[in-house]
Chain A
Amino acid sequence: MQALLLLLLCLPQSPFEPEPVPVVPHIEGPAELRLGQKAKFTVVGLPAGVEPTWSVPASLDNDDGHEVTPTGLLIWPPVNGPYEIIAAAQHDNGKLVVMRMTTELKGARPPPAPTPVEPLVPPVDPPLVPPGPTDVTPATGLRVLFIYPPTATREQLTILNSGAVNAVLDEVCAKSGTGRAEWRKWDRDIDKRDQLKNETPAWRELWTAAKASLAKPDAATKLPCVFIQRGDAVSLFPLPATEAATIALLKAGGK
């Protein structure tokens, strides 16, 4: 038997190269971290062009405040301990692969002793945007409000959802401080439950003016309609019959 084993060991190697072993997708990154070290993780073994989606476990057991950015950068509180991250990506004919890795932070403060009551408020909370909306008065350009009934016809819905009309609205309307074009398309019942309280004062004023017009006896026949505001002047128009006519109305600035 020993002679047979010796013979097998002495046989020349196969002339064929071994098949390359496919790389199983996995996360690579530091297994240990020191405080202040950049914790960057990557996924290897994915097909070219496939980007992973990063997350942390959805479990209260991991309620330690660590997060991972879309580029795989771990953000952790300065507390010693293990931190688990997850990467998910498509691989091999649509199969979703979920990869996990745990890294341990050392050199920071020890984890706090468990407390009987979990605090609901995190240590750091981003500042709240003031609830009072910031108003924008258009120096140039229009403010345009479409109001429609729930039973709008197919032709009317085509105009109200037209990409060409939207493009013209983006072009002729004033821009808010965030660059948002000043147009809206609202259901006639939009303020039934005080839905507009967070809208800017200018839009609420325009709605008030619109509602006064729509309260007239023949209002039902006017829907859908378009309110066009230029400076202080507000004009009411029935929704034109075609996309082209709507674009022409907007380009003329409601004149």
Chain B
Amino acid sequence: MSFTSQLLKGEIIVDDDSPSHILNPEGVSRGLDLNLRGNAPYAYGVSADPFDPELLIPRSEWEYWIKDAEQTKTRLSDRIAAVKLPPKKQIEVNFCWSFGIVHPIEILYAQLHNKLVSLSATSVAAQVTGFRNVGGWGRDAVRWIAANGVVADKYWPENALNRKYATAANKERALQVRVENWTECQPRNLDQAVSLLLRRIPGGGGRMAWEHETADVEAIWLDGQVAIRTRNQWPGQAEWVVMRGNMLLADDWVFPRSVSAIGEAL
């Protein structure tokens, strides 16, 4: 009998045929807008760290990697559960493209630096957009964090689109929490994204069919095919979502890979 991943508690599966109250529930905020990929025509690879071919894992090995991680409980979702890292909560701001990048950074701190941090995605998006509540895409968020950092949400609340938090002190605090290396996968390139996820590198996955970006956490195996487990930031909706079918592929896949050490700060 072939292997099939176990779903997490409350997890839902999303594909093209999912009902609209699952794909498009009322009252939620999104914000993915790939029309903003710069003035010039978008060109993949304009990033600090494009995909390294050495990291590719052949498709023939995917099932085995997934099965091994699940059976040894060494998935990122296991680490998230062990340290009780809560999901983000995006309310009334169109900044999914920042929430989807900031949560993987929180996961990296828990996984590699043994540090629980809660970071303000709005602090990033607000400053990228000039304090306008508009959409964007993941590379803008990760670039900002690489250059300027991200401040903890105890200093800049998670959904506060407000200039009063853009203080000199918060800008200095943000510089302590930066992305140092990151990889932008080719849009809809499943091999690249799954290879990173199998290596326990989480990333932001933005899907135009959903107009939404979330934190892609790991690859799973369902019905003989790979699927992607993502963590959504809509409060009141399913926290864990499995993407498959045409919803599997992200049009915007950005993976923060290392973050600056923060000692005992935050």
Please give the residue numbers on chain A whose beta carbons come within 8 Å of chain B beta carbons, in ascending order: 50, 53, 55-60, 62-63, 65, 67, 86, 88-91, 93-98, 118, 120-122, 125-126, 128-129, 131, 133-134, 136, 150-152, 154, 157-158, 160-163, 166, 169, 176-178, 180-181, 183-187, 189-190, 192-193, 195-200, 203, 243
B74 touches A63 (CB 8 A): no
> Which residue of the partner chain, among A63, A86, A89, A93, contacts B92 with CB atoms under 8 Å?
A86
How far apart sit A199 and B181, CA to CA, in the bound complex (Å)? 18
Interface residues of B in 240-266 (CB under 8 A from A): 257-266
How far apart sit A90 and B232, CA to CA, in the bound complex (Å)? 14
Chain B residues near A121 (CB-CB < 8 A)? 167-168
13 contacts between A and B (CB under 8 A): A97-B236, A120-B163, A122-B167, A125-B170, A133-B264, A151-B54, A152-B199, A154-B198, A162-B72, A166-B79, A185-B112, A195-B260, A198-B263
A128 touches B169 (CB 8 A): yes
A134 touches B264 (CB 8 A): yes
Assess whether B27 is interfacial by the CB under 8 Å rule: yes
Which of A93, A126, A185, A195 has the most chain B CB atoms closer than 10 A to its own CB?
A195
Q: Is the interface of B mostly helix, strand, loop or mixed?
A: loop
> Which residue of the partner chain, among A157, A177, A184, A189, contacts B114 with CB atoms under 8 Å?
A184
How far apart sit A187 and B76, CA to CA, in the bound complex (Å)? 17
Assess whether B161 is interfacial by the CB under 8 Å rule: yes
Chain B residues near A62 (CB-CB < 8 A)? 162
Q: Return A24 CB to nearest CB of chain B, in Å.
A: 14
Chain A residues near B65 (CB-CB < 8 A)? 154
> Which residue of the partner chain, among A97, A120, A184, A195, contacts B167 with CB atoms under 8 Å?
A120
Q: Interface size of B by Cβ–Cβ distance < 8 Å?
A: 72
How far apart sit A197 and B78, CA to CA, in the bound complex (Å)? 30
Chain B residues near A198 (CB-CB < 8 A)? 176, 260-263, 265
A58 touches B160 (CB 8 A): yes
Which residue of chain B has the shortest Cβ distance to A50 in the bound complex? B236
Assess whether B235 is interfacial by the CB under 8 Å rule: yes
Q: Return A225 CB to nearest CB of chain B, in Å.
A: 15
B111 touches A59 (CB 8 A): no
> Which residue of the partner chain, among A58, A88, A162, contacts B235 with CB atoms under 8 Å?
A88
Assess whether B165 is interfacial by the CB under 8 Å rule: yes
Given contacts A55-B91, A88-B235, A96-B28, contact A67 B157 (CB under 8 A): yes
How far apart sit A241 and B21, CA to CA, in the bound complex (Å)? 48
Which residue of chain A has the shortest Cβ distance to B54 in the bound complex? A151
B25 touches A163 (CB 8 A): no
- Which 9 pairs across A and B sit closest by C-beta, in order of nearness? A90-B236, A133-B263, A199-B261, A161-B74, A96-B27, A58-B161, A195-B260, A122-B164, A128-B169
A94 touches B25 (CB 8 A): yes
> Which residue of the partner chain, among A53, A128, A178, contacts B264 with CB atoms under 8 Å?
A178
How far apart sit A190 and B161, CA to CA, in the bound complex (Å)? 33
Given contacts A88-B235, A96-B235, contact A55 B159 (CB under 8 A): yes
Chain A residues near B133 (CB-CB < 8 A)? 58-59
Chain B residues near A133 (CB-CB < 8 A)? 263-265
B82 touches A163 (CB 8 A): yes
A88 touches B55 (CB 8 A): no
